[in-house]
Amino acid sequence: MNIAIITGASSGMGREFARRLDSLLKKTDEIWLLARRKDRLDALCAQMQTKTRAIALDLTSEKELAQFAEVLSISDARITVLVNCAGVGKYGAFSDQKSEDINGMLRLNILALTEMTRICLPYMRKGSRIIELASGAAFLPQADFAVYAASKAYVYSFGCALAKELRGQGIYVTTVCPGPVDTPFLENAYDSPARMSGLKKLTMETADRVVETALMDSRQGKPVSVCGLPMKLLYLATQSTQNMMQFFMQAQQ
């Protein structure tokens, strides 16, 4: 049985990935949607053409992840697409942040994403695809978004390295790096919308544009997906600086 798995499918970009994959995937028997809010997953399932399974779980719980691994192991599944979309961000000075918010970001954005990838990989074959949701925040350290940006720098580094490791097996990994996207994520990240910079508001993308670009880039086997001109310019600028630094470091050796 061919399946696609999407985490964070109850909202924002995860829900958009589910809707688009529903119409795009022809050889997929089932789509599995993962998030904590079962009512929202059930509502989405009811709108899907492909047979869809709602799996309510907290990805930050080791026990619930292990239970998911068990469900997968008895399912005779071959995973065609894994989208690791679940993620959370809390804006504010590090010194003012609560320990539960800091640990929540690290557990979900880093540990859960890594563990989901590890659990799903044995069920992938040539042609399977992994989409890891990082952020444009991965490109540069960000004051007042320190832990979130650092967690996404991890996802970016992990995804790019994995893309190289798995390419030989015909498994393609695309790391998606959007700038601000109009989803509930921003309401949860900023206590008040006034705290969001004018530049962020100006460069805001829609979830459907980011997801459409990500799926196109994934189909083309691109290791990184960046949507919109402002983010593309930032990406190119940080890449050229890194390449220059690598060149000078190698020249000094």
Ligand X SMILES: NC(=O)c1ccc[n+]([C@@H]2O[C@H](COP(=O)([O-])OP(=O)(O)OC[C@H]3O[C@@H](n4cnc5c(N)ncnc54)[C@H](OP(=O)(O)O)[C@@H]3O)[C@@H](O)[C@H]2O)c1
Burial class (CB in 10 A: 0-12, 13-18, 19+), 5: buried
Residue type, 166: L
Rounded to 5, what percent of the chain is helix, strand, coil?
55, 15, 30
Find the part of the chain contacting ligand X (CB under 6 A) among 81-89, 139-147, 167-175, 233-241. 81-89
Nearer to ligand X, 134 or 171 (CB): 134
Cβ 75 vs Cβ 1: under 8 Å = yes
The rounded distance, in Å, linking the Cα atoms of 116 and 105 is 16
As measured in angstroms, the least distance from the Cβ of 67 to ligand X is 13
Among 65, 81, 108, 153, binds ligand X (CB under 6 A): 108
**88 contacts ligand X (rule: CB under 6 A):** yes
Which residue in the shown chain puts its C-beta closest to ligand X? 87
Nearer to ligand X, 82 or 85 (CB): 85
Residues 122-141 interacting with ligand X (rule: CB under 6 A) = 133, 135
**32 contacts ligand X (rule: CB under 6 A):** no
State the CB neighbour count (10 A cutoff) for residue 10. 25
Rg (the chain; Cα; Å): 18
Among 4, 21, 81, 85, binds ligand X (CB under 6 A): 85
Residue type, 206: T
Residues at the contact surface with ligand X, assessed by CB under 6 A: 8-14, 35-37, 40, 58-60, 85-89, 108, 133, 135, 178, 180-181, 183-186, 188
